[in-house]
Structures are given as C-alpha cells and as structure tokens.
Amino acid sequence: MPAPRDEGSAHRPPAVRRLPETTLQPAERRGRGATANPGGRFEPAGRVAFDDGWDGAEALGPLRTEVLAEQARTLITRNTSPDISFDRSINPYRGCEHGCVYCFARPNHAYVGLSPGLDFETKLFQKANAAALLEWELSVPGYSPATIALGTASDPYQPIERGHRLTRAVLEVLARFRHPVGIVTKSNLVTRDIDILGDMARDGLVKVAVSVTTLDPVLARRMEPRAPHPEKRLEAIRALSAAGIPVMVIVAPIIPSLNDHEIETILGRARELGAVEANHVLLRLPLELDALVNDWFAEHYPGRRRHVMSLVRQARGGKAYDSAYRTRMTGTGAYADLIVQRMRLARRRLGYPEERRRLRTDLFRVPTDQLSLF
C-alpha cells in the first residue's frame, strides 16, 4: 500500500506505518470501527496473516457479532479514583457493538484473551445473571447506597440490549430498591425505559448522560459505525427531558482538528432540547488504543494524522496518554486549557446551571420480600 501524503505538505512525509494485523479489506469489516485486530498484550504469541498465493480463495466474509453468556461473580465494580464523581459502577456487557474506534475501554478486552481491535466490537459477553446478582449485592447487611454509574466501560444500550434486556432488568432492581443511578449512553434506545426512569426521576433517583461526539453523520459513521445517528441522540435528549428526566450532554471524546469545532453547536442544540448539564472528555489513548486510532487515521484521514496526534501529545505531557488523576479526562497545556475555557463560556452563555444535580440516597430500602433470602 503506498504511503499516504499529508494534505498541503510540500514534501512527501515518512510512510505511515500500518498495523501488521490490518488484513481484512474494508468490505469484509464493513460496519465496524476498528481497522485492525491486533493480539492482546497478554498473549504468549502473535499472529500475522500473509498472502499464500491463493488469490483470496479463503477470504473471510463479513464479520458477525458473537454474544457469549458470562456468569459474573460480582456485578458492582468499585473504584477510588478522585477525578470521577462515583465510586461504583455496573456494566451488564463486556465489549461494545457500537464499534467506536476511540473507546478507552477497548484495552480491557485483552484481559479475556481477545483483541482490543475488532474483537472488542464483535466478540461480546452478556452477564446473564446481572439482575439476580445485583439484588443479592444490594441486600447484603450494611450496604451503604451511593450513585451507581451504569455503562462506564461499555454502552448499556448497545444493539444487543434490544434482545437481552439486561439493562432494563438492572433498572427494575434499582427501582425496587429505590437506589440512585446515573446512566451514560450514546443510544436513543434509552427512551424505551422512560416508564422506569420517569418514576425514578420524580424521586430524584436518576439522571442520564447522552454522549454526542459530532453532528456530522459521515464522521459519526466512520468513528462509531453502529451507534445511532447524531440526530437520534438529540431526539433522545428531547424525549427524556420532556419526561422530567434530567439529562447531561457529554461532548466526548473531543478530538483535536476533527470535531473540536463543534463544541458550541452541540451544547447549543442539546440545551434547546432540554439538557441541564454539560461535560466533555478529551481523547484518551491508553495502551493499545494509541496504535488502533493511529491506524484508523491512516485509513480515513491520513493528511490529518500527524497534526491530530501532535495536539494530543501536547495535551498529555508529550505522551500519547497520561493516566494521572484529575487531568486524564481533560489533559493539560494550552490546547487542553482552551477547550476547558470554551466549555465554561458556552455553558454560561447557553444558561446551563452552574451546579450539578445530586441524586438522593435517603430513599434506599431493601424490599421486604428479599428478607427471606437470609
């Protein structure tokens, strides 16, 4: 493959190094975000496909989504991070079919012996015992309630939720226990559960964060191929707000020179439709994600790759990623500070409230029918 030429450059740049695992042709991975399927970092051996001279006689067909059942031993994950607003979270699924190439959770697939690349969006796991396990964990004597974040590593409303309905089952449990929950999603499927969420919202037990990365449908299809159209997400903000459910819009991730010009427009549209909070996250490239995103740029936007990655590194202390608490979400330096300032000014101009809503914890109770379990 010839090296792509940077746009506007007066000389030929160095060849863009593609991942050796970039073997599937675009038609064979149509509808997927990642361009490659590199081995996980814990694997004892690596595999590289090569041309054996049979002219593609054994070429793979379109990638199919596989869903395996997983019997989880615990459902609520705890954290002690000082830079996020919750100390516990739930992810009913492992992996995500939305296929967002930039997803910071991709490297987690290496822990189950799979690739953070195409495997992350095609080999999924559903925690079949999620609802029963949650009931047990909330019923343990001495449990102290605090907001549970639902969907921090994989979208709880990704396409397979339509059939498995694990997220709805989890919400039904939380509603019975009158337990606060914050949901993060980029899917309008969340509106299916307005009947549960509306009742919880009236008691101050829920809020929903809707991620809107871009309003450009072409860019959205390339970055997050199986996530709903941006207008569908905006419609979800409208529907949730109309039902009395507080909504936060998250502009995430902000990618320098690709979608950063849309910040004010996205915040404005969301505010018109009822959003009451706004936040952002700067592009994060931990572990294998650096190579995967670079490979994606080499295929889709080769002329912008070097400039984008230069700005990312400027905001990460010269590295692809800096995991330091308090700055990993927003970065540091002139570019990162500019984004923070733009967000602050846009929120003020558009009338977003200064304070974030706090969910109630004083209504928590263990339903009486649970007492028979102990």
Contact 253, 283 (CB under 8 A): yes
Query: What is the Cα–Cα distance from 253 to 283, expressed in whole angstroms?
Result: 5
Q: Is 173 left (phi over 0), alpha (psi -120 to 50) or beta?
A: alpha
Per-residue model confidence as pLDDT tens digits over 174-215: 999 999 999 999 999 999 999 999 999 999 999 999 999 999
Contacts of 44 (CB under 8 A, 6+ apart): none
Q: Helix (H, G, I), strand (E, B), or coil: what is residue 247?
A: strand
166-176 and 130-139 are packed helices; what angle lies between their axes, rounded to 10 degrees? 20
Kindly report the CA angle at 184 between 310 and 109, in degrees rounded to 5? 65
Q: What is the pLDDT along the chain (374 residues), one digit of tens a residue?
A: 344 444 443 444 445 557 766 557 787 888 899 998 888 777 766 666 555 555 544 555 678 999 999 999 999 999 888 778 889 999 999 999 999 999 999 999 999 999 999 999 999 999 999 999 999 999 999 999 999 999 999 999 999 999 999 999 999 999 999 999 999 999 999 999 999 999 999 999 999 999 999 999 999 999 999 999 999 999 999 999 999 999 999 999 999 999 999 999 999 999 999 999 999 999 999 999 999 999 999 999 999 999 999 999 999 999 989 888 888 899 999 999 999 999 999 999 999 998 899 999 999 999 986 544 44
In the block, tokens 């209504």 appear at 363
> C-alpha distances in angstroms, 139 versus 124, 174, 359, 363?
29, 11, 20, 15
> C-alpha distances in angstroms, 199 versus 90, 180, 243?
21, 12, 9
In the chain, what's the furthest Cα-to-Cα distance? 76
Tokens of 279: 């936040």
Query: What is the Cα–Cα distance from 204 to 195, expressed in whole angstroms?
Result: 15
Query: What is the Cα–Cα distance from 125 to 67, expressed in whole angstroms?
Result: 5
In the block, tokens 């396990």 appear at 133
pTM of the model: 0.89
Tokens of 244: 């009395």
Closest CA to 120 of 287, 365, 232: 287
Tokens of 361: 């914890």
Contact 46, 12 (CB under 8 A): no
Per-residue model confidence as pLDDT tens digits over 128-171: 999 999 999 999 999 999 999 999 999 999 999 999 999 999 99
Tokens of 96: 């995500």
In the block, tokens 């558009």 appear at 350
Tokens of 291: 């190579």
Domains, the chain, with CATH or none: 66-353 (3.20.20.70)
Amino acid, single-letter form, for residue 249 = V
